[in-house]
Amino acid sequence: MQRLPFRIGLGHDTHRLESGGPLVLGGLTIDHDRHAVGHSDADVLLHAITDAILGAAALGDIGELFPDTDPANRGRDSAEMLAAAAGRLSAAGWEIMNLDCVIFAQRPKILPYRNQMREKISVILGVAMDQIGLKAKTGERVGPIGEELAIAAECVALVTRASAGESA
Ligand code: CDP
Ligand code: ZN
Protein backbone atom coordinates (compact mmCIF):
# COMPACT_ATOMS: atom_id res chain seq x y z
CA MET A 1 0.00 0.00 0.00
CA GLN A 2 2.78 2.37 1.01
CA ARG A 3 4.41 1.84 -2.39
CA LEU A 4 1.40 2.87 -4.46
CA PRO A 5 2.33 6.01 -6.41
CA PHE A 6 -1.11 7.66 -6.21
CA ARG A 7 -3.75 8.34 -3.58
CA ILE A 8 -7.16 9.96 -3.87
CA GLY A 9 -8.93 12.00 -1.19
CA LEU A 10 -12.47 13.29 -0.76
CA GLY A 11 -13.59 16.33 1.20
CA HIS A 12 -17.09 17.58 1.96
CA ASP A 13 -18.29 20.51 4.04
CA THR A 14 -21.53 22.37 4.80
CA HIS A 15 -22.14 25.67 6.61
CA ARG A 16 -25.34 27.38 7.64
CA LEU A 17 -26.12 30.70 5.93
CA GLU A 18 -27.55 33.72 7.73
CA SER A 19 -28.55 37.16 6.55
CA GLY A 20 -25.93 39.85 6.15
CA GLY A 21 -22.70 39.73 4.19
CA PRO A 22 -20.00 39.38 3.25
CA LEU A 23 -19.54 35.77 2.18
CA VAL A 24 -16.06 34.28 2.63
CA LEU A 25 -15.65 31.64 -0.06
CA GLY A 26 -12.71 30.19 -1.96
CA GLY A 27 -10.33 32.55 -0.18
CA LEU A 28 -12.29 35.61 -1.35
CA THR A 29 -14.48 37.99 0.63
CA ILE A 30 -17.53 38.42 -1.59
CA ASP A 31 -20.04 41.23 -1.36
CA HIS A 32 -23.27 39.24 -0.79
CA ASP A 33 -26.44 39.53 1.33
CA ARG A 34 -25.78 36.30 3.29
CA HIS A 35 -22.79 34.93 5.17
CA ALA A 36 -21.69 31.46 6.22
CA VAL A 37 -21.75 30.76 9.95
CA GLY A 38 -18.87 28.90 11.57
CA HIS A 39 -16.21 28.90 14.24
CA SER A 40 -13.53 29.96 11.75
CA ASP A 41 -14.19 32.26 8.77
CA ALA A 42 -16.53 29.46 7.51
CA ASP A 43 -14.96 29.15 4.05
CA VAL A 44 -16.72 25.97 3.00
CA LEU A 45 -14.63 25.47 -0.16
CA LEU A 46 -11.25 25.76 1.56
CA HIS A 47 -12.50 23.40 4.30
CA ALA A 48 -13.53 20.76 1.73
CA ILE A 49 -10.15 21.07 -0.01
CA THR A 50 -8.32 20.78 3.33
CA ASP A 51 -10.17 17.54 4.11
CA ALA A 52 -9.58 16.17 0.60
CA ILE A 53 -5.81 16.57 0.74
CA LEU A 54 -5.58 15.30 4.33
CA GLY A 55 -7.79 12.36 3.35
CA ALA A 56 -5.61 11.45 0.37
CA ALA A 57 -2.68 10.83 2.72
CA ALA A 58 -4.89 9.43 5.54
CA LEU A 59 -3.76 12.29 7.79
CA GLY A 60 -7.08 12.79 9.59
CA ASP A 61 -9.30 15.82 9.10
CA ILE A 62 -9.53 19.56 9.59
CA GLY A 63 -11.33 19.22 12.93
CA GLU A 64 -8.42 17.24 14.36
CA LEU A 65 -5.87 19.81 13.21
CA PHE A 66 -7.94 22.81 14.28
CA PRO A 67 -10.52 21.79 16.95
CA ASP A 68 -13.52 24.13 17.13
CA THR A 69 -13.27 23.87 20.92
CA ASP A 70 -9.97 25.79 20.80
CA PRO A 71 -10.57 29.55 21.18
CA ALA A 72 -7.43 30.16 19.09
CA ASN A 73 -9.36 28.87 16.07
CA ARG A 74 -12.19 31.40 16.39
CA GLY A 75 -12.40 33.43 13.18
CA ARG A 76 -9.27 31.73 11.88
CA ASP A 77 -8.36 32.33 8.25
CA SER A 78 -9.14 29.09 6.40
CA ALA A 79 -6.22 29.78 4.03
CA GLU A 80 -3.95 29.27 7.05
CA MET A 81 -5.59 25.91 7.79
CA LEU A 82 -5.29 24.81 4.17
CA ALA A 83 -1.62 25.83 4.10
CA ALA A 84 -1.02 23.81 7.30
CA ALA A 85 -2.69 20.75 5.75
CA ALA A 86 -0.56 21.17 2.61
CA GLY A 87 2.52 21.26 4.85
CA ARG A 88 1.47 17.98 6.50
CA LEU A 89 0.87 16.40 3.10
CA SER A 90 4.28 17.39 1.85
CA ALA A 91 5.98 16.28 5.09
CA ALA A 92 4.36 12.88 4.58
CA GLY A 93 6.01 12.69 1.13
CA TRP A 94 3.06 13.48 -1.14
CA GLU A 95 2.43 16.19 -3.70
CA ILE A 96 -0.82 17.34 -5.27
CA MET A 97 -1.53 16.33 -8.86
CA ASN A 98 -4.95 17.92 -9.17
CA LEU A 99 -8.11 18.92 -7.35
CA ASP A 100 -11.66 18.99 -8.66
CA CYS A 101 -14.16 20.94 -6.59
CA VAL A 102 -17.88 21.68 -6.60
CA ILE A 103 -19.59 24.50 -4.70
CA PHE A 104 -23.28 23.93 -3.92
CA ALA A 105 -24.85 27.40 -3.69
CA GLN A 106 -28.11 28.84 -4.95
CA ARG A 107 -26.45 32.26 -4.98
CA PRO A 108 -24.19 34.07 -5.70
CA LYS A 109 -23.15 33.09 -9.21
CA ILE A 110 -19.69 31.61 -8.79
CA LEU A 111 -18.57 31.90 -12.41
CA PRO A 112 -17.47 35.55 -12.11
CA TYR A 113 -15.23 34.62 -9.15
CA ARG A 114 -14.05 31.23 -10.36
CA ASN A 115 -10.64 32.13 -11.70
CA GLN A 116 -9.81 34.39 -8.78
CA MET A 117 -10.65 31.50 -6.42
CA ARG A 118 -8.58 29.05 -8.47
CA GLU A 119 -5.67 31.45 -8.34
CA LYS A 120 -5.93 31.90 -4.54
CA ILE A 121 -6.04 28.16 -4.03
CA SER A 122 -3.14 27.52 -6.39
CA VAL A 123 -1.00 30.08 -4.53
CA ILE A 124 -1.84 28.58 -1.12
CA LEU A 125 -1.01 25.07 -2.36
CA GLY A 126 1.97 26.03 -4.52
CA VAL A 127 0.53 24.38 -7.65
CA ALA A 128 -0.46 25.72 -11.08
CA MET A 129 -3.96 27.06 -11.68
CA ASP A 130 -4.64 24.32 -14.24
CA GLN A 131 -4.35 21.78 -11.43
CA ILE A 132 -7.46 23.27 -9.77
CA GLY A 133 -10.86 22.42 -11.22
CA LEU A 134 -13.78 24.41 -9.81
CA LYS A 135 -17.45 24.59 -10.64
CA ALA A 136 -20.74 25.41 -8.94
CA LYS A 137 -24.29 24.12 -8.91
CA THR A 138 -27.45 25.66 -7.52
CA GLY A 139 -29.89 23.66 -5.40
CA GLU A 140 -32.64 24.21 -7.99
CA ARG A 141 -34.39 26.33 -5.35
CA VAL A 142 -35.27 23.30 -3.20
CA GLY A 143 -33.81 21.93 0.04
CA PRO A 144 -31.41 23.82 2.34
CA ILE A 145 -29.08 24.77 -0.53
CA GLY A 146 -31.89 25.90 -2.83
CA GLU A 147 -33.55 27.87 -0.03
CA GLU A 148 -30.23 29.56 0.77
CA LEU A 149 -30.16 28.16 4.30
CA ALA A 150 -26.87 26.40 3.67
CA ILE A 151 -23.83 26.34 1.41
CA ALA A 152 -21.75 23.23 0.75
CA ALA A 153 -18.67 22.16 -1.15
CA GLU A 154 -16.98 18.96 -2.23
CA CYS A 155 -13.49 18.26 -3.46
CA VAL A 156 -11.54 15.28 -4.73
CA ALA A 157 -7.76 15.42 -4.66
CA LEU A 158 -5.26 13.19 -6.42
CA VAL A 159 -1.79 13.11 -4.89
CA THR A 160 1.39 11.40 -5.98
CA ARG A 161 4.61 10.49 -4.23
CA ALA A 162 6.88 13.51 -4.11
CA SER A 163 10.10 12.88 -6.03
CA ALA A 164 12.21 13.38 -2.87
CA GLY A 165 10.19 10.62 -1.19
CA GLU A 166 10.56 8.07 -3.97
CA SER A 167 13.43 6.18 -2.39
CA ALA A 168 11.56 5.86 0.94
O1 CDP B 1 -28.13 23.49 -15.34
P2 CDP B 1 -28.06 22.57 -14.14
O3 CDP B 1 -29.36 22.35 -13.48
O4 CDP B 1 -27.25 21.34 -14.37
O5 CDP B 1 -27.16 23.38 -13.08
P6 CDP B 1 -27.50 24.69 -12.23
O7 CDP B 1 -27.39 24.34 -10.80
O8 CDP B 1 -28.77 25.34 -12.70
O9 CDP B 1 -26.29 25.61 -12.62
C10 CDP B 1 -26.07 25.97 -13.96
C11 CDP B 1 -24.71 26.60 -14.12
O12 CDP B 1 -24.65 27.86 -13.43
C13 CDP B 1 -23.58 25.78 -13.53
O14 CDP B 1 -23.11 24.80 -14.43
C15 CDP B 1 -22.52 26.84 -13.24
O16 CDP B 1 -21.78 27.13 -14.42
C17 CDP B 1 -23.35 28.08 -12.89
N18 CDP B 1 -23.48 28.34 -11.42
C19 CDP B 1 -22.72 29.33 -10.86
O20 CDP B 1 -21.87 29.94 -11.52
N21 CDP B 1 -22.86 29.63 -9.53
C22 CDP B 1 -23.73 28.97 -8.76
N23 CDP B 1 -23.86 29.31 -7.47
C24 CDP B 1 -24.51 27.94 -9.32
C25 CDP B 1 -24.37 27.65 -10.66
ZN1 ZN C 1 -16.26 24.31 7.29
Please list the pLDDT of the chain residue by residue as tens digits (168 residues).
557 799 999 999 999 999 999 999 999 999 999 999 999 999 999 999 999 999 999 999 999 988 888 888 888 899 999 999 999 999 999 999 999 999 999 999 999 999 999 999 999 999 999 999 999 999 999 999 999 999 999 999 999 999 754 444
Q: How far is CA 141 from CA 54, 67, 100, 105, 116, in A?
A: 32, 33, 24, 10, 26
Q: Does 6-161 carry CATH code 3.30.1330.50?
A: yes
* Ligand nearest, relative to CA of residue 12: 2
The CA 110 to ligand 2 mean position distance, Å, reads 18
Residues with CB under 6 A from ligand 1: 105, 109-111, 135-138
The CA 102 to ligand 1 mean position distance, Å, reads 10
Mutation choice for ligand 1 from 138, 142, 145, CB with most ligand atoms inside 8 A: 138
Domain positions in the chain are 6-161
Residues in the chain: 168
